[in-house]
Amino acid sequence: MFPSRGITAMQYRPLGRTGIRVSPYCLGAMMFGKGGNPDHDEAIRIIHKALDCGINFVDTADRYSAGESEEIVGKALKGRRDRIVLATKVHGPMGDDPNMQGNSRRWITQAVEGSLRRLQTDYIDLYQIHRPAPDTDIEETLAVLTDLMRAGKVRAIGSSTFPASEIVEAQWVAERRGLARMRTEQPPYSILDRGIERDVLPTCQRYGMGVLVWSPLSKGMLTGRYRKDQPPPDSLRVKYFQKQMSDARSLEAVERLIPIAQGAGLSLTHLALGFVTAHPAVTSAILGPRTMEQLDDLLAAAEVRLSDEVLDQIDQVVPAGVDIGLNEANYNPPALVNAGLRRRPLFDRDAA
């Protein structure tokens, strides 16, 4: 089992063209704090266990449990900070003030100081824009991120859940204006969520960007706990993502994936993790354990290598480039959320 083998078993990968090397698993800290596991001491033990097993990449966000996740990570990294590639994110609301969110210079300048304080560090290795902000010029965002890099507070910058078109725009603006480039993208990716294979992943490869994927287990749908015609387990996922966790197409796909995993001598969880880390564009898969037991199970998949035959079988269940089910945490562009943005005014339609 992988955890007993320690750091020498980990094969580190280049994080895009940053020159930084990271583990193929990244420890995600979203479940640490009141939004998941409120026990700080246990969360710190989980983080330490992951680091002891060779993970050198930790990802969090100011938004997770309203900053509590960053506080826990900061406490856990005392005495270990220099050996860890630390990533956090900015964008989500951090209070009632309408300006305490988004991708503006005003907010990012303030938010980074809060993250540095909570993380108890002088610098952030990877500072990511958590979601696009259509109301903010990307040049505004890149300019302040460039200033933070020049000030030594940030080492590299990246995006999260950006459509391919916005990844390209950010690259072009950076080149035209002489600003720092986004070096990474953090998209959702799993057997059930393969839409990024169509354009996001090829775009990242074209620009030499590192890719750290979130929700490789599709919110837990790919753990085997959620089954067709069976009552869902009592979990936080069901509470927050009820539609996604009961989606008929996803549950049907799970029933077809379980025999594939069994035929390969794997659990469904390990099949799912082996799938995302097999893609050549993927640098690291984010693991989001809430308990030590979950971490041990996830780490045990570190040496899983899926054969072409198994990957072909997965393709028969969920075709490449297709999102089978719902992803209620994904980014939806304004034109998909606001029907008025995709409908001409009535007088224009009458004139046509």
Enclosing H/E stretch for 126: strand 124-129
Rounded CA-CA distance 156/309 in Å is 38
Residue 290, CA distances (Å) to 73, 90, 278, 287 in order: 14, 22, 25, 10
3-state helix/strand/coil string of 314-337: HHHHCCCCCECCCCCCCCCCHHHH
Q: Is 122 helix (H, G, I), strand (E, B) or coil?
A: coil
Token pair in block for residue 130:
């958590």
Which residues have a catalytic role annotated? 64
For residue 41, the tally of other CB atoms under 10 A from its CB is: 9
DSSP H stretches of helix in the chain: 40-52, 68-76, 105-119, 138-150, 164-177, 200-206, 236-240, 242-245, 248-263, 268-278, 292-299, 308-317, 334-337, 346-351
User: 196 φ, ψ to 5°?
Assistant: -70, -15
Angle, nearest 10°, between helix axes 248-263 and 268-278? 90
Rounded CA-CA distance 295/53 in Å is 11
Residue 76, CA distances (Å) to 64, 73, 83 in order: 16, 5, 13
Rounded CA-CA distance 243/245 in Å is 6
Q: How far apart are the first and last CA of the chain?
A: 67
